[in-house]
Amino acid sequence: MTWDLTLPSGRRFHSGSPVTATEVVATLEALREECLPGDRQLWYWDPVAAIEAPDPHTVRLRLHHPYPRLFTLLWGTHTAVHEEAQRQSLGADFGRVQASGTGPYRLVSWDPNRIDLTRTGSASDLPSSMTFTWLPSAQQRCDALLQDGVDCAHALDADALTALAGDPRFTICRQPQPSNMYLALDWVRHDLGFDDIRVRRAIGMAIDRERLVRVGLGGLGAPAYGPAPPGLEFHDPAAATGTYDPPAARALLAAAGWAPGPDGILTRAGRQLATECVIQDDPVFAQVFALVAEDLRAVGIAMYARSVVAFADFYAAVQQHPAASISKWLWPDPVEALIGFSSTCTAPFPNWQRASSPDLDAAFEGFIRALDQTDQQAAASQIQRVFVRDLPYVPLVTPDDIWAWNRRVKGFTPRLGDLYPPYQDLRLNPGQP
């Protein structure tokens, strides 16, 4: 019920200020309370009653109940220790003009397309600087790697893998991404029937997920009938069942009162089953949406894309509760991600489809209170079974994560489930630029 974490002595923020337990507690409290809009704390913190600093070197967490998965909170980006006093003084400029953390590299400059870092310590075997560059297409990322413009590239596609195959300069890593791309349907939209499980099931059965992977992802991914990514912690293939069955989808829609109109689009009480769908302005999202829209049109449902360019603008758009949206959570802890994106207590954000399943909420509570790995797996399997039954959102696909890097780079190994592989141990071969 009480966890004491001892801080290493002598550590300082990049500004030179000492890292004390009081500073760490201030950071954690900010991350706990400010990550979500409104008054809802980040759900990872729900088992935690209080965070304290009993002395300068100890951070104490007091729990509401035993919670062996507390480390999923402590290791994630949602507990990235920064200098909270500097963040308070800089406001919106923190992380852009300055960013005071504790790692071996500090921020030099930031803009939406490029981040420059410089080494803080005297370890001469570490690279003296690092640059992260945004290249919007997989082709650009592959070309930069082949032309020695970058040492490492992420989010490559099938063409890039073909171009890199057999090139002795590079190491390639392909593994399931810790993510779920999904179609969210606003449960408050009674006029469209999205509160009706028959309609949600029909929409799920109308979508050819194998085609989404084959065409939309270039074969680099897996169809998703359930919410937990394959190959990752707690995935239960027996619980993630589904089928592509347009005739059965049409029958369910008819049972829910929808009948074809003159143009083939389903109608009920004078209302067409037609809606806008918010997506990110991204080639993969656009292709997946186009395929989903084709499948749905074949059973009489019309969806039209509204593309949003910036990621922050996409989040702002879904907070307005569009009738439909296609999103993708990208999270290192799949069950905790599901709690955030589909439990009743996290509506209206990030459960922006405002789904509410009491049985799913109960299954989430069982997982949070499980005391060992066996009970956690049993609870996670129950979550997946209820999820497939109630469909708080419609799972679509899990893409593969593709990394490639030059062999002169050492100490860089993306692990299954990593969002951002650690780079503090990265080295370059002697004599290499």
Domain holding 52: CATH number? 3.90.76.10
Shared domain check, 227 and 84: no
Tell whether 252 is covered by a domain. yes
Domain end marker among 65, 93, 121: 93
Which residues, 6 or more positions from 323, have their beta carbon under 8 angstroms from its beta carbon?
185, 186, 189, 192, 194, 275, 276, 277
Shared domain check, 192 and 70: no
To the nearest 5 percent, what fractions of the chain are helix, strand and coil?
35, 25, 40
Shared domain check, 49 and 197: no
Q: Residue 425 is inside which H or E element, if any?
A: none
Q: What is the pLDDT of residue 56?
A: 95
Tell whether 19 is covered by a domain. yes
Measured CA angle at 269 (ends 264, 270), to 5 deg = 60
Shared domain check, 85 and 191: no
Tell whether 294 is covered by a domain. yes
Give the number of other CB atoms < 10 A from CB of residue 377.
16
Q: What is the pLDDT of residue 13?
A: 95
Tell whether 210 is covered by a domain. yes
Shared domain check, 89 and 191: no
Q: What is the pLDDT of residue 356?
A: 98
What is the span of the domain harbouring residue 385?
Answer: 179-399
Tell whether 120 is covered by a domain. no
Dist CA 194 CA 201 (whole Å): 10
The pTM score is 0.93
| Total of domains in the chain | 2
Shared domain check, 349 and 233: yes
Q: What are the residue ranges in the chain where pLDDT is below 70?
A: 123, 430-433
Shared domain check, 88 and 188: no
Tell whether 415 is covered by a domain. no
Domain holding 241: CATH number? 3.10.105.10
Torsion, Cα 142 147 151 155, to 10 degrees, reads -10
Tell whether 18 is covered by a domain. yes
Question: What is the tens place of the pLDDT at every residue in 355-401?
Answer: 999 999 999 999 999 999 999 999 999 999 999 999 999 999 999 99
Q: What is the pLDDT of residue 78?
A: 76
Shared domain check, 333 and 223: yes
Question: What is the tens place of the pLDDT at every residue in 163-214?
Answer: 999 899 999 999 999 999 999 999 999 999 999 999 999 999 999 999 999 9
Tell whether 412 is covered by a domain. no
Beta sheet of 105-111, edge-to-edge order: 105-111, 114-119, 129-133
